[in-house]
Amino acid sequence: MSRLIIISNRVSAPKGSMSGAQGGLAVALQAALRESGGIWFGWSGEYTDQFTGQINFQRNEGVTTATVDLEEQDIEEYYNGYANRTLWPLFHYRIDLAEYERDFAGGYQRTNERFADTVRPLIEEEDVIWIQDYHMFPLGAELRKRGFNNRMGFFLHIPWPPRRLLTTLPEAHELVASMFAYDVIGFHTQEWLESFCDFARIELGATLEGDGVVRLGDRTVQLLNCPIGIDSQDFTKMTNSDVAAATFDQMRKSAVDRAMIVGVDRLDYSKGLEERFNGYERFLEENPEQRKEQFLLQIAPPSRAAVDSYQRIRARLEAMSGHINGAYADLDWVPIRYVNQGYPRDVLAGVYRAARIGLVTPLRDGMNLVAKEFVAAQDPEDPGVLILSRFAGAAAQMPTALLVNPLSAEEIADAISQALVMPLKERIERWKPLYDNVMEEDVSWWRERFTAALMPEGQLQRQEHPA
Ligand code: ADQ
């Protein structure tokens, strides 16, 4: 069997010290690395005054990680700049927030070249390379330029935007053309896959060869619809843990017979938090009789604080929650509990289980794992209701959730009202298929599906890669 080399912006710490999606993803990728004796390569999270490309190796629980320090300017331009100020908003359909700066594009390219130069001595002829996410689109092409003929795959964890939006990116053609260096490209949904295909076909003149295979010049790439899941076994353990049980009791006690609606998100404009608060306010306004029967717990730890748009949304959410509480709170009841910190996954599992409604309303989301965690944590005898944005990748696998348009305050308000009175029978009928899917199509299923495409029947199928 070939070794797997995984490359991502950040390398996750070994099991035990991680949380959330990264946790599940890290566990799945580490399992693959353990099986194949491979290496996980990426940025160390540390700065250096002068880039040297020196690699720091660590071996932990059978997994080897290799990391490199970057210069502050690299992080400013590549990570805070192109990745998070340009690509992230654009790929989440927010061209109003996207910043198009040559310095960012240049720093992104330079840093990817630095990654390619650094990882180069670690790669052996039979290795299979799997690159993760939008920080590293051009890395495959950079490795090909350095003469590597290895099988190479790429997985995109965020949406792929519609063609006309992507054409606003000055480097779009170059960037997408460079992705033909990969042998397999994975997306969370058929929709993201087709948007990629549209751009390649219409803008670059690529041709479809059937069954998700696209050709550009002498390169063909296999496109794969490959939705990610949670680490379902591990999450079930979390749900059954003492910590989850204690959290459940604590939440139920503090809810005093009121139904809890829960939202758990990184504080990010793509998660639709302002629109969610608007929808919730609309619900309060339109349903006075249901008002004091419930409350909303919104957990939203700040992320990417170095980027202005994240500071702005944080300030707006503070103002909105203050305004809604000011307008509706009573002596014995406050509608929104707004909490700006992260919690361990076993605590979250208890919180999800204590909730009557999971409110997951991103404006766009590659997948959204909170929706799946919420479903996994429910009591089968008395499950809560998932309200899910139609525009999350997860919606494609979760048709029996209450699907809403997250931009419509009315739809959010109606769904909350409907979920609060939903009979137990209907709650179970809606929840069960969601649960079966979450358990079946979990993170191991995802990883195996992708690696099976990358390493067909364990055989290495080579294409010629002109330097
Ligand atoms: P994210 O945008 O980070 O991931 P998501 O899939 O929702 O989004 O995962 C968030 C994870 O962080 C969940 O596991 C959740 O439990 C955890 N988390 C969120 N808030 C937390 C809190 N307050 N405390 C503790 N943990 C918290 C990107 C894409 C997604 C895609 C994933 C995986 O944007 O669309 O699903 O990658 O591919």
Pick from 343, 274, 281, 363: which is nearest to 312 by CA? 274
How would you classify residue 215: left for phi > 0, otherwise alpha for psi between -120 and 50, otherwise beta?
A: beta
Q: How far apart are CA 433 and CA 438, in angstroms?
A: 9
Please report which helix (H) or strand (E) contains residue 327, including its range. Answer: helix 308-328
| DSSP single-letter state for residue 295 | E
Verify whether ligand 1 is closer than 6 Å to residue 343 (CB atom): yes
Verify whether ligand 1 is closer than 6 Å to residue 234 (CB atom): no
Q: How far apart are CA 386 and CA 98, in angstroms?
A: 31
Q: What is the mean pLDDT of residues 237-247?
A: 97
Q: What is the mean pLDDT of residues 124-142?
A: 97
∠ CA(133), CA(16), CA(353), 5° rounding?
A: 85
Q: Name the band, by pLDDT with cuts 50, 70 and 90, for residue 465.
A: very low
Query: Out of 58-62, 186-190, 298-302, 353-357, which region has the weakest mean confidence (pLDDT)?
Result: 58-62
| Cα(357) to centroid(ligand 1), Å | 18
| Cα(26) to centroid(ligand 1), Å | 13
What superfamily in CATH does domain 4-225 come from? Glycogen Phosphorylase B; (3.40.50.2000)
Structure tokens at 392: 């999350």
In a 10 Å sphere around its CB, with 0-12 CB exposed, 13-18 middle and 19+ buried, how is residue 151 labelled? Answer: buried
pLDDT tens readout for residues 79-115: 999 999 999 999 999 999 999 999 999 999 999 999 9
Mean pLDDT of the chain: 93
Catalytic pick from 265, 365, 414, 442? Answer: 365
**Contact status, residue 386 vs residue 398, Cβ threshold 8 Å:** yes
Q: Name the band, by pLDDT with cuts 50, 70 and 90, for residue 23.
A: low
ipTM of the complex: 0.97
Domain ranges of the chain: 4-225, 232-440
In a 10 Å sphere around its CB, with 0-12 CB exposed, 13-18 middle and 19+ buried, how is residue 253 labelled? Answer: exposed
| DSSP single-letter state for residue 289 | T
Residue 1 has pLDDT above 80, yes or no: no
| DSSP single-letter state for residue 457 | G
Pick from 406, 331, 401, 328: which is nearest to 364 by CA? 406
Verify whether ligand 1 is closer than 6 Å to residue 157 (CB atom): yes
Does residue 323 carry a catalytic annotation? no
Does residue 157 carry a catalytic annotation? yes
pLDDT of residue 382: 98
pLDDT of residue 14: 52
Query: Out of 126-135, 224-233, 300-309, 321-330, which region has the weakest mean confidence (pLDDT)?
Result: 300-309
Nearest atom of ligand 1 to the alpha carbon of 299: 23
Pick from 84, 86, 78: which is nearest to 106 by CA? 78
Q: What is the mean pLDDT of residues 275-294?
A: 97
Q: How far apart are CA 254 and CA 249, in angstroms?
A: 9
CATH hierarchy code of domain 232-440: 3.40.50.2000
Q: What is the mean pLDDT of residues 407-433?
A: 98
| Cα(219) to centroid(ligand 1), Å | 34
Q: How far apart are CA 93 and CA 451, in angstroms?
A: 29
Q: How far apart are CA 281 and CA 289, in angstroms?
A: 14
Verify whether ligand 1 is closer than 6 Å to residue 81 (CB atom): no
From start to end of 128-281, where are the E strands?
Answer: 128-132, 152-155, 184-187, 207-208, 213-216, 219-225, 259-264
Decide whether 4-225 matches 232-440 in CATH topology. Answer: yes
Long-range contacts of 147-151 (CB under 8 A, 24+ apart): 147/467, 148/123, 148/465, 149/125, 149/462, 149/463, 149/464, 149/465, 150/123, 150/125, 150/126, 151/2, 151/183, 151/184, 151/454, 151/455, 151/460, 151/461, 151/462
From start to end of 321-373, where are the E strands?
Answer: 336-339, 357-360
Percent of the chain with pLDDT over 90: 87
Q: How far apart are CA 181 and CA 131, in angstroms?
A: 12
Pick from 137, 133, 120, 142: which is nearest to 66 by CA? 120
**Contact status, residue 226 vs residue 438, Cβ threshold 8 Å:** no
Q: What is the mean pLDDT of residues 13-29?
A: 58
Verify whether ligand 1 is closer than 6 Å to residue 369 (CB atom): yes
Q: How far apart are CA 221 and CA 183, in angstroms?
A: 5
